Amino acid sequence: MYISKSFIPILKNNPSEAKIKSHQLMLRVGMIKQSSAGIYSWLPLGFKVMKKIEQIVREEQNKIGVQEILMPTIQSSEIWKESGRYEDYGEEMLRIKDRQGREMLYGPTNEELVTEIFRASVKSYKSLPQLLYHIQWKFRDEIRPRFGIMRGREFYMKDAYSFDINDEEAFFSYNKFFLSYLKTFKRLDLTAIPMAADTGPIGGNLSHEFIILAETGESKIFTDKRIFDLSGEGTSLEKDSLNSLRKKYEQYYAVTDEKFNKVEFEQQVSEENRLITKGIEVGHIFYFGDKYSKPMNASVDLPGGKKDFVKMGSYGIGVSRLVGAIIEAKFDDKNEIMKWPLSVAPYDVAIIPMINKNDITSLEKANNLMAELNKHNIDVIIDDTDENLSSKIKKMNLIGSPYQIIIGKKSDGNLFEFKEVGEEAKNLSVSEIIKIISEEKNKNWFLN
Ligand code: P5A
């Protein structure tokens, strides 16, 4: 891709309406454009990153055996009246009337709709467990949409739902998502910590929020620092292995402010291990038993001939919020340098040729280099404008490709000035460059 042909509307300065670094950067490099309060269009750069995040989320869901479906954004109010949430959900729900005067709504979440799909065809315990997910836009008429796509009114969510025969099996499903979330966030190069949390309008009494640390986060958290040393590495998808994983995490105090209890915190965590800080909620998992299956009559035949309501959980990841969360975690706003994790970078490599009007050899070199890198599935952006080198580097630092190649006076013969952002530049050949990037791209993540 050439900068001159791309739709990357870069602003000279930070827009004054943006208060946190992710919102500033996303507007500054034209990743998004506000369409109305809390509602955004996604422009090429932002869309590319979000789609890459979505694909990682999808792959990790598929790996634990969740099946992808796609439910609509617009739902009928009928099923919400059955579950009893139509009134409870209050002003956050966007209510719509169709031309026949039927009450519809823009889905803020899908527990009811998926239960309706399930009950229409699953009748026996023999078909359990069922794990379903979709990745779809949601709408919540938040009173205070803010920080750009971090707290939007319209936002993109992966939401999964589990249906099981009893509590034990339902916890097994819950724990699969617990592990899958640790893995998903790790692939995004984030450390997300599961913390006991309030269940709000979704309900139930077991729930974990997955939180990444950030000063600009909206969640206040209280933790034992030692929880940051844990990982899901080595955990298999066996019941016992997953149980011990959750126990390993739950032995350390880690809660959001709604669950905070000063006495417990001080009793359980020694002073040097206490951490009180802020974070961003990037995922949230819930177990709520028969909260929806009972009022909506979603039951299955049991082995002895009796019937019982299925036990359900739901599992969300804020796909659009993650774009902002990664920026909060990775953007160096003092030096105005963004480095996307290679797994989601809009472009793997930025090629910056120094172009002199009378001499286009460096642009030709850049073109040849791009052709070579493309052959190895390495995605490249070239700054083919005739701006000076320092403004080109500034621009690429904001776009955030993790690697940069400068083609100028110093590039001699077959060697190129190559650098991983934040590291020293090196003179390398094309094949050495391809090797470094390909190895990083194919890195093995735990539990593949
Ligand atoms: C779980 C899946 C639920 O809605 N029902 C289906 C459950 N959970 S949740 O915690 O309310 O939302 C899941 C994740 O969505 C992101 N999120 C948001 N992102 C951007 N703007 C918002 N207004 C917003 N609200 C929720 C969060 O990442 C949250 O963890």
User: What's residue 137's pLDDT?
Assistant: 98
- CB of 284 shorter than 6 A to ligand 1: yes
Cα 193 to averaged position of ligand 1 atoms, centre (Å): 16
For 265, the token pair is 């915190």
For 314, the token pair is 């739901």
User: What's residue 316's pLDDT?
Assistant: 98
Residue 409 clears pLDDT 70, i.e. is over it: no
- CB of 318 shorter than 6 A to ligand 1: yes
Residue 180, phi-psi category: left (phi > 0), alpha (psi -120 to 50), beta (remainder): alpha
Cα 429 to averaged position of ligand 1 atoms, centre (Å): 46
Q: Which atom of ligand 1 is nearest to the CA of 285?
A: 1
Kindly state the DSSP code that residue 395 receives in the 8-state scheme: H
- CB of 402 shorter than 6 A to ligand 1: no
For atom 21 of ligand 1, the residue with the nearest CA is 151
Residue 413 clears pLDDT 80, i.e. is over it: no
Is pTM, for the whole model, over 0.95? yes
Cα 349 to averaged position of ligand 1 atoms, centre (Å): 32
The single residue listed with the structure tokens 């940051």 is 228
Average pLDDT of the segment spanning 379-385: 96
Q: Categorize the per-residue pLDDT at 361 as very low, low, confident or very high, splitting at 50, 70 and 90.
A: confident
Weakest-pLDDT range from 40-44, 332-336, 403-407, 443-447: 443-447
Give the number of other CB atoms < 10 A from CB of residue 197.
Answer: 23
Residues found in the chain = 448
Weakest-pLDDT range from 90-104, 187-201, 351-365: 351-365
Average pLDDT of the segment spanning 44-69: 98
Q: Categorize the per-residue pLDDT at 446 as very low, low, confident or very high, splitting at 50, 70 and 90.
A: low
The single residue listed with the structure tokens 């995004």 is 188
Average pLDDT of the segment spanning 87-99: 95
What is the Cα–Cα distance from 21 to 15, expressed in whole angstroms? 11
Residue 448 clears pLDDT 60, i.e. is over it: no
Q: Categorize the per-residue pLDDT at 445 as very low, low, confident or very high, splitting at 50, 70 and 90.
A: low
Cα 293 to averaged position of ligand 1 atoms, centre (Å): 21
Residue 2 clears pLDDT 90, i.e. is over it: yes
For atom 4 of ligand 1, the residue with the nearest CA is 109
For 371, the token pair is 């052709």
- CB of 279 shorter than 6 A to ligand 1: no
What is the Cα–Cα distance from 389 to 298, expressed in whole angstroms? 64
Which of 191, 75, 231, 77 minimizes the C-alpha distance to 139? Answer: 75
Average pLDDT of the segment spanning 322-335: 96
The answer to whether 257 and 204 are in contact (CB under 8 A) is: no
User: What's residue 140's pLDDT?
Assistant: 98
Residue 305 clears pLDDT 70, i.e. is over it: yes
Q: What angle (nearest 5°) sits at the alpha carbon of residue 145, between those of residues 141 and 146?
A: 170
Q: Which atom of ligand 1 is nearest to the CA of 286?
A: 1
For atom 18 of ligand 1, the residue with the nearest CA is 318
User: What's residue 442's pLDDT?
Assistant: 86
Average pLDDT of the segment spanning 83-100: 96
Cα 198 to averaged position of ligand 1 atoms, centre (Å): 13
Residue 359 clears pLDDT 80, i.e. is over it: no
Q: Which atom of ligand 1 is nearest to the CA of 284?
A: 30
**Dihedral in degrees, nearest 10, Cα atoms 117, 120, 125, 131:** -10
Cα 141 to averaged position of ligand 1 atoms, centre (Å): 13
- CB of 152 shorter than 6 A to ligand 1: yes
For atom 15 of ligand 1, the residue with the nearest CA is 318
Average pLDDT of the segment spanning 400-411: 87
Q: Which atom of ligand 1 is nearest to the CA of 157?
A: 15
For atom 7 of ligand 1, the residue with the nearest CA is 316
- CB of 194 shorter than 6 A to ligand 1: no
For atom 13 of ligand 1, the residue with the nearest CA is 316
What are the angstrom distances between the C-alpha of 306 and each of 235, 352, 395?
36, 70, 66
Cα 219 to averaged position of ligand 1 atoms, centre (Å): 13
What is the Cα–Cα distance from 215 to 181, expressed in whole angstroms? 22
For atom 25 of ligand 1, the residue with the nearest CA is 151
Burial of 401 (0-12, 13-18, 19+ CB in 10 A): buried
Cα 284 to averaged position of ligand 1 atoms, centre (Å): 7
SS3 360: coil
For atom 22 of ligand 1, the residue with the nearest CA is 151
Ligand 1 pocket: which of 69, 284, 292 to mutate (most atoms within 8 A of CB): 284
User: What's residue 412's pLDDT?
Assistant: 66
For atom 24 of ligand 1, the residue with the nearest CA is 151
Q: Categorize the per-residue pLDDT at 181 as very low, low, confident or very high, splitting at 50, 70 and 90.
A: very high
Q: What percent of the chain has pLDDT over 90?
A: 89
Ligand 1 pocket: which of 32, 93, 133, 157 to mutate (most atoms within 8 A of CB): 157
SS3 300: strand
Residue 129 preceded by cis peptide, ω within 30: yes
Average pLDDT of the segment spanning 228-234: 93
For 27, the token pair is 């507007």
Give the number of other CB atoms < 10 A from CB of residue 75.
Answer: 21
- CB of 159 shorter than 6 A to ligand 1: yes
For atom 20 of ligand 1, the residue with the nearest CA is 151
Tell me how far apart the 2 most distant CA atoms of the chain are, in Å: 86
Round the average pLDDT of the chain to a whole number and report it: 95
Q: Categorize the per-residue pLDDT at 199 as very low, low, confident or very high, splitting at 50, 70 and 90.
A: confident
What is the Cα–Cα distance from 11 to 6, expressed in whole angstroms? 15
Cα 24 to averaged position of ligand 1 atoms, centre (Å): 22
Q: What percent of the chain has pLDDT over 70?
A: 97
Residue 410 clears pLDDT 70, i.e. is over it: no
Residue 269 clears pLDDT 90, i.e. is over it: yes
Which position has the higher pLDDT, 351 or 446? 351
